[in-house]
Amino acid sequence: MTATAVHQLTTAARDASPSVVAAILRLLQQVDSPAEGAFVARALNALARLTAALDDATLGEAAGARSDYEVLLDALDAPAALAVLREDDPLAAARLRGLQARIRLLAAEGGTLSSTQVADLLGITRQAVDKRRKAGRLIGLATGRRGYAYPLWQFDPERRGVLPGLEAVLAALRAHDPWMQVAFFLTPDVRLGGETPLAVLRRGDVAAVRRAAEAYGEQGAA
C-alpha cells in the first residue's frame, strides 16, 4: 500500500470507533503486495461511494447481517446502491443477482465440503478427489485460493460414496460448467413433474434424471 493511502486511512481512523480502527489495522497488516494494494484502494473507493449513497437506516440494517460478506451484499442490494452501481456498470444489478444465486447454490442442501472432507468421506486421497473432479465424476466449485467446494448433496455418507446415479447424470451434463450442473440438480424441472432432479435421483429414478439432463444439455434449462 502506498504511503499516501496509509496516511489517509490513519487520518480517517483518528475519530472512528474502536471497531473501525481495528478493521483498518487488520486491512493495513494484510496488504503486502502491489496487487493487494490496488485491490484494496479500489475497493475502499467503492465502499466510500456506497456509504455516502445510503441512509443510516439502510446502513444499520445491512450492518446487522450474519456475516461480513452479507453486509456488503445487503448494502449493494439497496435501491440507492444499485443506482450508484449502474452509473459505472449498467449490468450491475444482473451481476449482483448472479452472485446472490451462487451463494444460494453453495448453501443449499447442507452446504459444501472441502477436498479434505470429501477425501475422508470417500476414504480416498485428496489427489484422487481432484482426479474425479477433473474427470467430471464429482462437482467441485472453484473458490479461489481456498480450492474447491464440493456440494454435500452429491454424496451418500451412509454408503461412503456418491449418490447412486450421479456419475451417469454428470456425464449427460458434461457440456455445462459446474455451476450450471448444480443449478440443474437444484432447480424444479417440468420434465420431472416440477420436482428437482436431485429429489428424483434420491428416489432412484436415474433414467428419468438422465433424460432431463440430456435435454438440458441440448436446449438449456427449461
What DSSP string runs through 74-133? HHHTSHHHHHHHHHH-TTHHHHHHHHHHHHHHHHGGG-EE-HHHHHHHHTS-HHHHHHHH
Say how far apart CA 121 and CA 156 lie, in whole Å. 9
Closest to 61 (Cα-Cα) out of 84, 79, 44? 79
The grid coordinates of residue 8 equal 489517509
What pLDDT score does 221 carry?
45
Residues 94-140: tens digit of each pLDDT: 777 777 777 888 888 889 999 999 999 999 999 999 999 999 999 99
Residues 12-43: tens digit of each pLDDT: 555 567 777 777 777 777 778 888 788 878 87
Q: What are phi and psi of 148, to 5 degrees?
A: -125, 145
The HSE-up count of residue 188 (CA atoms within 13 Å, CB side) is 4
Residue ranges in the chain assigned as alpha helix (H) = 3-13, 18-30, 34-53, 56-63, 68-76, 79-88, 92-107, 115-122, 126-134, 166-172, 178-186, 197-202, 206-219
For the cut 90, the answer to whether the pLDDT of residue 199 exceeds it is: yes
Say whether pTM exceeds 0.85.
no
Q: Which helix (H) or strand (E) holds 142?
A: strand 141-142
Pair 37, 9: CB distance under 8 Å: no
> What one-letter code names the amino acid at 26?
R
What pLDDT score does 6 carry?
55
Residues 54-93: tens digit of each pLDDT: 888 888 887 887 777 677 777 777 777 777 777 777 777 7
What pLDDT score does 213 carry?
96
Say how far apart CA 76 and CA 133 lie, in whole Å. 33
What pLDDT score does 9 carry?
54
Residues 145-188: tens digit of each pLDDT: 778 999 999 999 888 899 999 999 999 999 999 999 999 999 99
Q: What are phi and psi of 54, to 5 degrees?
A: -105, 145
Confidence of residue 220 (pLDDT cuts 50, 70, 90): very low
